[in-house]
């Protein structure tokens, strides 16, 4: 399998030398690193070239590297039913740099690209309907970015008096606490409320 993938990787890199930055094989999977500006032509080649015939788009997602510039990887997964081979295509983009939509090459990329925009904030130019897909209208931020707060910014609830859904700033139901995950058989290094009497009763015999 790895020989087949290596042959395919060399073939694609040789056919598109300015567009392919490199390729790698890991865990019996082929990954192509592609120049972002050439993503449409590369995708069309992978779909149409007889050595590839990647007709099925499986997924489009992103990976957030907040300490890196450019910050995001946009990752495409394709399947060739003809050759029974999969390929992963990666491009890099920044927070404010849009990526060309591949919807004219793969119509199935429609909701995948909307999801990547919704959850990571990656914008795809040329997409006919670049709206959020999973979060609500007016949602603040992009939930799968690594700097997005775990509690979010707002909470949604149904107000029985107003008879509608309302948005409000997040309020924690209780203060943060330090929980003790020690086994009860090991004991703790502090005295639990009520246990301070046990030593007096057992040690001094005052309970008799």
Q: For 25-48, what is each residue's pLDDT tens digit? A: 998 899 999 999 999 999 999 999
Secondary structure class of 79 (helix, strand, coil):
strand
Q: Which of 33, 10, 36, 37 is nearest to 21 (CA)?
A: 33
pLDDT at residue number 77: 98
Please report, rounded to a whole number, the percentage of residues in the chain having pLDDT higher than 90.
66
Structure confidence at residue 2 as a pLDDT band (50, 70, 90): confident
Structure confidence at residue 207 as a pLDDT band (50, 70, 90): very low
Count of positions (residues) in the chain: 208
Rounded (5°) CA angle 192-197-204 = 140
> What pLDDT digit, counting tens, does each position of 105-137 carry?
999 999 999 999 999 999 999 999 999 999 887
pLDDT at residue number 201: 55
In eight-state DSSP terms, residue 191 is: P
Average pLDDT, the chain: 87
Q: Give strand ranges (E) for the chain.
A: 20-26, 29-34, 56-64, 72-80, 85-93, 99-100, 124-125, 154-159, 164-169
> What pLDDT digit, counting tens, does each position of 146-185 carry?
988 877 778 778 889 999 888 888 776 655 555 555 666 6
């Amino acid at each position: 399998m790895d020989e087949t993938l290596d042959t395919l990787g060399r073939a694609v890199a040789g056919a598109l030398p300015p567009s392919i930055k490199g390729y790698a094989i890991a865990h019996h999977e082929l990954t192509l690193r592609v120049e972002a500006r050439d993503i449409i032509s590369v995708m069309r080649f992978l779909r149409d070239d007889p050595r590839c015939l990647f007709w099925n788009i499986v997924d489009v997602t992103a990976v957030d590297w907040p300490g890196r510039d450019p910050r995001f990887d946009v990752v495409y997964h394709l399947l060739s039913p003809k050759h029974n081979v999969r390929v992963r295509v990666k491009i890099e983009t920044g927070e404010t740099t849009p990526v060309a939509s591949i919807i004219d090459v793969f119509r199935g990329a429609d909701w995948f690209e909307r999801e990547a925009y919704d959850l990571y904030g990656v914008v795809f130019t040329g997409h006919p309907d670049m709206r959020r897909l999973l979060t609500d209208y007016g949602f603040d931020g992009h939930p799968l970015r690594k700097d997005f707060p775990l509690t979010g910014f707002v909470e949604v609830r149904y107000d029985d008096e107003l008879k509608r859904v309302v948005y409000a700033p997040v309020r924690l139901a209780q203060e943060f606490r330090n929980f003790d995950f020690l086994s009860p058989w090991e004991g703790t290094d502090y005295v639990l409320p009520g246990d301070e009497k046990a030593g007096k009763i057992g040690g001094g015999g005052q309970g008799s």
